[in-house]
């Protein structure tokens, strides 16, 4: 199969979708890998590293896309990339479509087959291609939040660990999944006073058992959210309803109850965000202030630590990439019931129910699409 790996073009996105190690696996099975010149540089891989793995380096981005059957990316296609997609392409990347109507319609119009990393499942009910980047983003969320609390960033001037004789800052994490647990672990490590809110009792049980009372667990209700808003120096938004737009859990009206200079880090921004006042930001300008509250809403947080993130992401994606290359998308999805929910768009139709629902569209059943 002809496989292309473009250089990412989203703001400050330095990850790459395939490492030289992955390229070697593919070329060793007889596939042709085209890597855009410089695509791996941000993650520490040179063009010659890819050439040594049997890949071909292509400087002409139009030719790269035109000749490919399978396109491997990290972030959702930007508008100039959507324009390059055709019905001959299978695109494998993060999509987060429920928050992006224009992108959804653009991908439908392209006729391409679009498979999203973030909706692939596993036997334990997890999201194995989201998890590694959620781990990174959760860990970064506390760094970003702690920095945003500094006065020069518009913050309240609270140091999360406190000092002897001065109480630590309070951190509330809404959503105790992969992002939430990793954020809580980092906040705990810093010495902050940490609470996790979740709707899942089973998840709260796991966290309670794992952290033995060092992290407070609270069932998420409107009352619990009101309380969190009044008390917290830093709130991290980490909820997810897979594939769907995030629920707005903190409204603008609630911000008046927060201490001025407190910080909201909305990691769930890639699914539209869980604070009413969130809007996507970039690493170039990560924060803004609404009603005295600092908001950090970067939709590609792991892009900033591209070396670690690329290695973590590609470890998880490689088996799926190999299946797509060896079998073609239809067989690969048909053979694996956990890969099948990755199919978000095919032949102009949305094939993921929560995405279709977000925009009032009809969805096609992915199982019948792959059976065709
Ligand atoms: N901004 C960025 O760069 C990145 C963003 N993310 C995003 O972070 C979000 C969280 O991802 P994961 O932790 O992997 O998901 P997850 O599925 O592991 O965890 C989500 C948690 O939210 C809980 N939840 C759902 N609705 C809730 C509610 N109303 N109140 C309280 N808890 C609720 C669930 O029970 C679950 O425990 C996703 O939107 C993901 O796409 C992930 C990586 C990078
Ligand atoms: C999950 C995601 O959107 C990212 O890693 O950028
Ligand atoms: Mg996005």
- Order of all β-strands in the sheet with 2-5: 56-58, 32-36, 2-5, 70-72, 90-93, 113-116, 343-346, 349-350
Would you kindly state where each structural domain of the chain is located, as residue ranges? 2-120+306-371, 131-299
Residue 299 CB contacts under 8 Å (≥ 6 apart), including other chains? 96, 269, 270, 280, 281, 282
Percent of the chain residues past pLDDT 70, beyond the cut: 100
- Residue 372 predicted with pLDDT over 90: no
pLDDT digits (tens, 9 = 90+) for 201-248: 999 999 999 999 999 999 999 999 999 999 999 999 999 999 999 999
Q: Which CATH superfamily is domain 2-120+306-371 in?
A: NAD(P)-binding Rossmann-like Domain (3.40.50.720)
Residue 57, pLDDT score: 98
Q: Is 209 annotated as catalytic? A: no
Quick: pLDDT tens for 57-107.
999 999 999 999 999 999 999 999 999 999 999 999 999 999 999 999 999
Q: Quick one: pLDDT at residue 206?
A: 98
pLDDT tens column, 242-267: 999 999 999 999 999 999 999 999 99
User: Which ligand neighbours the alpha carbon of 179 most closely?
Assistant: 1
Beta strands in 175-250 (DSSP E): 193-198, 216-219, 234-237
If one residue of 12, 92, 270 were mutated to test the ligand 2 pocket, choosing by the most ligand atoms within 8 A of its CB, it would be 270
pLDDT band at 323 (very low <50, low <70, confident <90, very high): very high
Binding pocket residue ranges, ligand 1, CB within 6 Å? 118, 127, 130-131, 133-134, 137, 174-180, 197-200, 203, 220, 238-241, 247, 249, 267-271, 298-302
> For position 297, what pLDDT does the model report?
98
In CATH, 131-299 is 3.30.110.60 = no
> Region 186-213: what's the mean pLDDT?
98
- Residue-wise pLDDT tens digits, 273-310: 999 999 999 999 999 999 999 999 999 999 999 999 99
pLDDT at 189: 98
- Residue-wise pLDDT tens digits, 6-49: 999 999 999 999 999 999 999 999 999 999 999 999 999 999 99
Joined tokens for residue 287:
């924060």
With a 6 Å cutoff on the Cβ, whether 8 touches ligand 2 is no
Rg of the chain on CA atoms, in Å: 21
Closest of 324, 343, 315, 370 to residue 1, by C-alpha:
324
Tokens 């292309």 belong to 4
């Amino acid at each position: 199969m002809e496989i292309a790996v473009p250089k990412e073009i989203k703001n400050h996105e330095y990850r790459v979708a395939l490492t030289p190690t992955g390229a070697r696996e593919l070329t060793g099975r007889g596939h042709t890998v085209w890597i855009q010149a410089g695509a791996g540089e941000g993650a520490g891989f040179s063009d010659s590293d890819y050439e040594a793995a049997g890949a071909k380096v292509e400087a002409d981005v139009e030719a790269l896309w035109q000749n490919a059957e399978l396109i491997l990316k990290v972030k959702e296609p930007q508008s100039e990339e959507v324009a390059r997609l055709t019905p001959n392409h299978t695109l494998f990347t993060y999509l987060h479509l429920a928050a992006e109507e224009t992108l959804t319609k653009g991908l439908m119009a392209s006729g391409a087959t679009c498979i999203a990393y973030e909706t692939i499942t596993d036997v334990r009910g997890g999201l194995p291609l989201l998890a590694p980047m959620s781990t990174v983003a959760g860990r970064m969320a506390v760094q970003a939040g702690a920095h945003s609390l500094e006065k020069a960033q518009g913050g309240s001037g609270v140091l999360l660990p406190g000092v002897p004789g001065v109480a630590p800052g309070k951190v509330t994490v809404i959503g105790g999944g992969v992002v939430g647990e990793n954020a809580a672990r980092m906040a705990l490590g810093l010495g902050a006073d940490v609470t996790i809110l979740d709707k899942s009792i089973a998840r709260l049980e796991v966290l309670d058992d794992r952290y033995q009372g060092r992290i407070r667990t609270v069932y998420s209700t409107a009352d619990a959210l009101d309380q969190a808003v009044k008390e917290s120096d830093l709130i991290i938004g980490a909820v997810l309803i897979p594939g769907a737009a995030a629920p707005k859990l903190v409204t603008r009206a609630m911000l008046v109850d927060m201490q001025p200079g407190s910080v909201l880090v909305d990691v769930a921004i890639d699914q539209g965000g869980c604070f009413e006042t969130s809007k996507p930001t970039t690493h170039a300008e990560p924060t803004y202030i609404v009603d005295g509250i600092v908001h950090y809403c970067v939709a590609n947080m792991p892009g900033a630590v591209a070396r670690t993130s690329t290695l973590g992401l590609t470890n998880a994606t490689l088996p799926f990439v190999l299946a797509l290359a060896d079998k073609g998308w239809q067989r690969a999805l048909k053979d694996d019931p956990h890969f099948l929910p990755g199919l978000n768009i095919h032949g102009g139709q949305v094939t993921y129910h929560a995405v279709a629902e977000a925009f009032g569209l009809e969805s096609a059943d992915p199982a019948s699409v792959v059976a065709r």
